[in-house]
Chains A and B, each alone.
Chain A
Amino acid sequence: MLTLTLLFTNFCDLTIDLFLHYFQRVALLVSSDIDALCACKILQALFHCDQVQYTLVPVTGWQDLGTAFLEHKEQFRCFVLINCGANVDLLETLQPEEDSIFFICDTHRPVDVVNVYNDTQVKLMIKQDDDLGVPSYDDIFRDEEEEGGDDSGNESDGGSEPSGKRRRYDEGEVERRIERQRATREWEARRREILFDYEQYEYHGTSAAMVIFELAWVLTKDTKDMLWWAIIGLTDQWVHDKITHMKYVTDIATLQRHVSRHNHRNEDEDNSLSIDCMRISFEYDLRLALYQHWSLFESICNSSYTSCNFKLWSMHGQKKLQEFLADMGLPLKQVKQKFNSMDMSVKENLREVIEESSNKYGMKDIRIQTFGVHFGFKNHFLASDVVHATASLLESTEKDDSPGDNFIKALDCLSRSNLERLHGGIDLAKKKLMAIQQTVASCICTNLILSQGPFLYCYLLEGTPDVKLFSKPMALTLLCKYLLKAFVRSTRNKRCKLLPLIIAAPMDVEKRTVIVLGIPPESETSDKKNFFGRAFEKAAESTSSRTLHDHFDTSIIELKMEDRTKFLDALITLLS
């Protein structure tokens, strides 16, 4: 009847009569980031099409994943994991039954070798051209029977042979045994080296939402809603700086083909579509966060690109901004007004005017390729607007919001029918961006970023305004990246410009823990590969600090406040 063809790596390529025949119900375990939410939405729509029963469980970390698995392992045989589970030996961690199957669609790389080479229980959903760089099977795994089998055989039949012959035979045997042991030790040393190189750097692969959209496309069940969610998933990876610029541009081109295909379908006849239908368009738009839902001035002040280029935390920077606006001929009164209320004459060629002026001020990439959506007469959103709004809803720190509630609210705001929630999210996002801007300004002005030798370090004190916002991983990541960019711009020390940054912020005041995260150094051609995961693990081990490596991104950990100093010292020693 209904079949699903899943795109696997070149290791296994199967068509399975999946959900309807073998498994009655599916457990969907979804991590808490925007890409995962989008992938989840697309998958839910596909399930609705085929009337597959499923249970949705949001998970925020490894402990959550373990608990969720224990709760559901009785009733479910089929688990789909989105943006979690690929970078750790899953079967070892969860200890499932023989007949449970896991489908993992995860952007975290490197994928654990056991997950890659397990044919039966773990199925990875990865695109064909995503190069994993997995070491070959023989380099890592080896049959146990060859070792030591021959040695024991010879010692037992001692007495039956004449002594002279046996001595010679034994010498040969001993030599061969020594040879074998040496070879095993060499093989193991090489294996350790290969695995170390493979697992040293953490990075991200193709967006999960895009992979699941491709699945929908292969099944010819793709709709514009699903395409829009795939776009949001990709934009999330770009906003939170998880992928390189090259990869972003390549993926945009892939999505652009899908967008043209959908648009072409509409403009076939000269009968145009209803205005309520969703229209996705390719935009070469400004890199100003939320500018169409804010005033242009506020947006320029609170977007990391413009703020860092102008150095808006200094008086000199503010003056430069005024010059910039004057250079474009935009009256201050217009620019400080809500964007939608600006004069049409000002809005007309805004993008080109800003691009021209930005080039003069050294901002060559003020415009970025992205997509926008129109539906109804009033509603126009860019993909990055939706990403910011959803991220704020997901990590909202309001008093009575549990993580489960936030997840559901964020999931809701991705549907077209929940526009008030989306607007609510946009308001929260504005507050978050302003908080980030102010924190960055104060950190730079008070020199809170210190060079510890192999890395830069910043600690947000408990009394810092809005520090509650930064107890959440995504917000803290944005702050960290923004801070590093600003620091690179403002420092004169050439060596410091090439250092990575570690930031720590209070996470839970009662439990006295801090959240620590590290990001790679800022550079034009950065490959976004992060080595802090392993470094944190080693440092924690060596000082026996009380840490919790719960987050799916290994470069984000939770640490007890008291152990902060010794942990840092260990890191400095490790990385020097």
Chain B
Amino acid sequence: MDPSEVEFLAEKELVKIIPNFSLDKIYLIGGDLGPFNPGLPVDVPVWLALNLKQRQKCRIVPPEWMDVEKLEEIRELERKEDTFTPVPSPYYMELTKLLLNHASDNIPKADEIRTLVKDIWDTRIAKLRLSADSFISQQEAHAKLDNLTLMEINTTRSFLLDTLNCMYKLRSNLQPGSSGGKAQDHQ
């Protein structure tokens, strides 16, 4: 998958906005939205929120998890544990990027949040790399990883699959009965 596809899927997430216009309920294929009244918060998908924000028709309210203290706690927890900890949102990375690029004036302490989310991401990707490495070196048949988000899986997906395919080809091309030592060397 392309990262932009993952971002596209992330834009379906709901976020709270405060509009400055009024509009009746709108009926879209994906569901109903609205009604919009000035000053009253309403939940809309991120794609609509960003469009309205760019047209200066709303103010975006940052999601609850996008807060400096909460993110600091999550980061500490992530650094302590060896396995993956539960994430604040299945699309935390994409939402952070989208909201901070287009609506950073509505999000308090935007710079610190950006740094914290990047730290969490780095820690998790490092754990993923370690895990993939040990999976291959111990020639496991299957692995179970909890709490991974789509974006993180997407970063390793193509590389991991191609690598495993190559290794399978190398292993299956060995003559039956010849030393298995050759396979060891190719790792």
Contact = CB atoms under 8 A, between A and B. Distances in A.
A48 B108 contact: no
Nearest to A277: B105
Interface in B95-118: 100, 104-105, 107-111, 114
Interface in A255-313: 266, 269, 271-277
A221 interface: yes
Interface in A36-59: 48-51
A274 B110 contact: yes
Interface string A205-227: 00000000000000011010000
30 contacts: A48-B54, A48-B55, A49-B55, A49-B56, A49-B57, A50-B55, A51-B55, A220-B20, A221-B56, A223-B56, A266-B105, A269-B108, A271-B108, A271-B109, A272-B109, A273-B104, A273-B105, A273-B110, A274-B100, A274-B104, A274-B105, A274-B107, A274-B110, A274-B111, A274-B114, A275-B111, A276-B104, A276-B110, A277-B104, A277-B105
B171 to A, nearest CB: 51
Contacts, number: 30
Contacts of B107: 274
A377 B17 CA distance: 30
Interface in B20-63: 20, 54-57
A80 to B, nearest CB: 20
Interface residues of B, number: 14
Contacts of A272: 109
Interface of A: 48-51, 220-221, 223, 266, 269, 271-277
Contacts of A49: 55-57
Nearest to B55: A49
Contacts of B109: 271-272
Contacts of B56: 49, 221, 223
A339 to B, nearest CB: 27
Interface in B73-106: 100, 104-105
Nearest to B109: A271
A271 B66 CA distance: 14
A496 B5 CA distance: 73
Contacts of A51: 55
A272 B109 CA distance: 6
- Best-buried of B54, B56, B107, B109 by chain A (most CB within 10 Å): B56
- Best-buried of A50, A51, A274 by chain B (most CB within 10 Å): A274
A277 B54 CA distance: 15
Nearest to A223: B56
Contacts of B20: 220
A276 B103 CA distance: 11
